[in-house]
């Protein structure tokens, strides 16, 4: 049951008091129609669909590379800690009374720094917004609750903008791109694993989007089977093949620096096959402008 919060203030929104069947008052903060549009922030590494309700809360849908989409509600006031959040769809005031409301409900009591996240049913939520429905968020404070209504106008185009941003996101994140190891079988000189080839292609796409990348360092290594000179040559062939693959996928060759270390810098001992396998590697690292 919703209870009335004390000292409700509302700037740029509508504060309502609704009476339930047993006569208790429900406090409801509703977004003003003039501020009811959703906003999109976008770049190749971040897409966010957001609506902020006055000084109270921000409701967002966010996409970043290699992470699942997330819905979040961020409580903006600091005077009270929230304990749980519910979000569900409701009919807009301008919709007909017989318009079916999407069955859409989120609930969580896992609060992190006044913020709650949901990772499922994102597509139905986006469809709900696109169709013009409003969203109610019930914010709990232990023994009290407050209902926030995120209204919605002209949302069709903004949902399209958000989805277009998602389609253009970098295929991998900086955390994945900045260093990556490719491993080789004994005596193997070229990259054969399809997952490694797919990663190198994604890496080239990432670099094309991240204008701060200034260098791609490729370091070849080997185990200790054979002579030191043979292993130095083998490690160079491996590194050269990785570089060739990157250029084939469209990377500017002037960004590439290749080094061959042979068996000099093992990451594991060469006393076991597992250790040798770890040492037969090419390390690909990205470097950025310090700014």
Q: What is the CATH number of the domain that holds 69?
A: 2.60.40.2540
Per-residue pLDDT band for 289 (boundaries 50, 70, 90) equals: confident
Do residues 62 and 181 both lie within one domain? no
Lowest mean per-residue pLDDT among 2-16, 25-39, 148-162, 227-241 = 2-16
Q: At what angle do helices 156-167 and 122-130 cross, to 10 degrees?
A: 140
Cα separation, 29 vs 12, whole angstroms: 10
pLDDT digits (tens, 9 = 90+) for 36-87: 889 999 999 999 999 999 899 999 999 999 999 999 999 999 888 999 999 9
pLDDT digits (tens, 9 = 90+) for 151-202: 988 788 999 999 999 999 999 999 999 999 999 999 999 999 999 999 999 9
Closest CA to 288 of 178, 195, 206: 178
Please name the residues in contact with 141: beta carbons below 8 A apart, sequence gap of 6 or more.
Answer: 5, 80, 81, 82, 83
> Measured between alpha carbons, how far is residue 72 from residues 119, 278, 291 in Å?
9, 40, 30
Please name the residues in contact with 273: beta carbons below 8 A apart, sequence gap of 6 or more.
Answer: none
pLDDT digits (tens, 9 = 90+) for 197-238: 999 999 999 999 999 999 999 999 999 999 999 999 999 999
Closest CA to 285 of 218, 185, 209: 218
Do residues 178 and 133 both lie within one domain? no
Do residues 128 and 249 both lie within one domain? no
pLDDT for 241 beyond 50: yes
Number of domains making up the chain = 2
60, 74 in Cβ contact below 8 A? yes
Q: Is residue 262 part of a domain?
A: yes
């Amino acid at each position: 049951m919703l209870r009335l919060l004390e000292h409700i203030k509302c700037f740029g929104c509508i504060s309502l008091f609704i009476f339930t069947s047993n006569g208790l008052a429900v406090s409801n903060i509703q977004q003003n129609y003039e501020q009811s549009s959703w906003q999109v922030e976008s770049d190749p590494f971040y897409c966010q669909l957001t609506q902020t309700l006055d000084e109270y809360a921000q409701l967002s849908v966010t996409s970043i590379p290699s992470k699942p989409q997330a819905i979040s509600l961020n409580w903006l006031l600091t005077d009270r800690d929230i304990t749980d959040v519910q979000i569900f769809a409701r009919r807009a005031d301008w919709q007909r009374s017989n318009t079916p409301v999407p069955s859409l409900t989120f609930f969580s009591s896992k609060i992190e720094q006044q913020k709650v996240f949901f990772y499922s049913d994102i597509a139905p939520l986006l469809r709900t917004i696109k169709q013009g429905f409003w969203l109610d968020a019930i914010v709990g404070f232990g023994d009290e609750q407050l209902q926030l209504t995120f209204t919605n106008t002209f949302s069709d185009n903004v949902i399209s903008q958000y989805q277009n941003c998602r389609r253009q996101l970098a295929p991998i994140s900086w955390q994945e791109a900045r260093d990556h190891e490719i491993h080789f079988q004994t005596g193997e000189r070229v990259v054969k694993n399809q997952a490694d080839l797919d990663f190198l292609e994604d890496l080239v796409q990432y670099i094309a989007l991240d204008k701060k990348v200034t260098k791609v360092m490729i370091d070849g290594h080997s185990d200790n089977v054979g002579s030191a000179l043979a292993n130095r040559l083998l490690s160079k062939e491996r590194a050269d093949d990785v570089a060739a693959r990157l250029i084939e996928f469209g990377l500017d060759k002037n960004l590439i620096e290749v080094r061959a270390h042979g068996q000099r810098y093992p990451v594991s001992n060469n006393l076991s096959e597992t250790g040798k396998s770890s040492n037969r590697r090419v390390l690909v690292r990205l470097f950025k402008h310090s700014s």
